[in-house]
Amino acid sequence: MSAIPVPRSQPDRPLRWWLLSVAALIALMVLVGGATRLTESGLSIVEWKPVTGTLPPLTEAQWSEAFEAYKRIPQYRELNAGMNLSEFKEIFWWEWSHRLLGRFIGAAYLLPFLFFLWRGGLSGELKRRLWLLFGLGGLQGAVGWWMVASGLADRVEVSQYRLATHLVLALLIFAGIVWTVRRLTRRPAIVASARLKVTSAVLVLVTFVQLYLGALVAGLRAGRVYNTWPDIDGAFIPSAERLWFETPWWKNMFDNVLTVQFEHRMTAYALFALAAYHAFDAVRARARAGDAASGALWLFAAVTVQAVLGILTLLNEVPILLALAHQAVAIVVLTLAVVQAERLASRKPAEAFGRAVPVGQPG
C-alpha cells in the first residue's frame, strides 16, 4: 500500500488520536470477549436487540424474564441447571458489557468520522479505507450475533468456527486501523532486502493463523486437556491414529481437540522460529534497515513472552488471569507485526518524502 495523501488543511493529531483510540477500544473489546468466553457468559442474552438491548433489565420482573429466556436454551439445562438469579446476573453482566462496548465502539468510530468528512480534507483513498473499516465493523456486529445464535438451539456453547471468525474479523479491523495510522505518517523509506520484507509480511500472516487456531482452542475448551509440555498425549508428535480419526480427514483440523491443540503448538513454534530468523536478519542489516532492526527485536521479544504465557496457561489448565494475559500479549504481537510489515513495505519516493502531504504537515 502507498502512503495516504492527506491535504494540509486537515489537522493531523486529532485524526491519529481518533483512530488510535478506536484501536485501543477494539483491543479492550477482544479482552472482554475473552473474559466472556472464559466465564461461560456469552449465551446469557438470547436475543439480539441492537437498540433496545442497550439497557439492561431494570426491574425484578425484567430480570426474571431474561432469566427465564436463558433457562430455555441447552446450556442452562445441561451445564447450569439449578443456577439462581444472582448467579445468572454475574454472567449476564459480562455479556451485556461486551455488547455495550461493541455499540460504543461503533459510535466512537462513526461520529468522529462523520465530523472529519464534514470538515473536509480527507483524500479519496483515506475515505475509502475508513468506510471499508466501518463496513467491516458493521459486519462484525452481525457475525457476533451469528456466533451467539449457534449456541441457542442444539449446542451448549457457540460454534468454534464462528467464534474464530468473530475474533479474527475484530483483529483484522484492529490491524487495518494500525496500518492506516502508520500510513498517515511521513517517514523516509527504509532500504531493506526483499527477504526482510517478505518475512515481515509472512509474520503477519502466521500471526493471524495462530490467532484463528487459538480461537478454535478456546471454542473447543482444548486448553483444559493435554496439560503437559513439550509432550502432548504422551509424545511430542501424537500418533496419526489419534490426530486423524475423524472423517473426512480435514474435520480433525477444526473439530478434533487433540489436533487443534497440536496445530496451535506447532504454529507457535513456527512463529517463534520465523520471528527469531527475521530479527537476526534485520540486525545483520542494521546499517541499511534502520528502525527495522529494533522493530524486529521487539517483535521477537513479544513472541517469546507470548510463548511462555501460552505454556504457563496450558500447564495451569487455563486460569482466567493467565488466559487473559496470553490474549493481551497476542494483541501486542499482532500490533508489532503489523507495524514492522508496514515499516518495511514499499513506498513511492515522492510520498515517502512528503510530496503527498500528511495531515497538519507543511508542504
Look at residue 224 in the predicted model and tell me its pLDDT.
94
What pTM does this model have? 0.90
pLDDT at 307 over 50: yes
pLDDT at 361 over 50: no
Report residue 140 as a C-alpha cell: 462484525
- Strands of the chain (E only): list them: none
How many Cβ atoms from other residues are within 10 Å of residue 61's Cβ?
A: 9
Higher per-residue pLDDT: 289 or 231: 231
Distance, CA of 307 to CA of 279 (rounded, Å): 16
- Percent of the chain with pLDDT strictly greater than 90: 76
> Could you read off the pLDDT of 101-145 as tens digits, one per residue?
999 999 999 999 999 999 887 888 899 999 999 999 999 999 999
Whether residue 112 is preceded by a cis peptide bond, meaning omega within 30 degrees of 0, is no
Nearest residue to 203 (alpha-carbon basis) of 346, 334, 291: 334
Look at residue 304 in the predicted model and tell me its pLDDT.
98
pLDDT at 357 over 80: no
> Could you read off the pLDDT of 163-192 as tens digits, one per residue?
999 999 999 999 999 999 998 877 766 777
Look at residue 292 in the predicted model and tell me its pLDDT.
87
pLDDT at 273 over 90: yes
Look at residue 19 in the predicted model and tell me its pLDDT.
96
Average pLDDT over all residues of the chain: 89
Distance, CA of 216 to CA of 333 (rounded, Å): 19
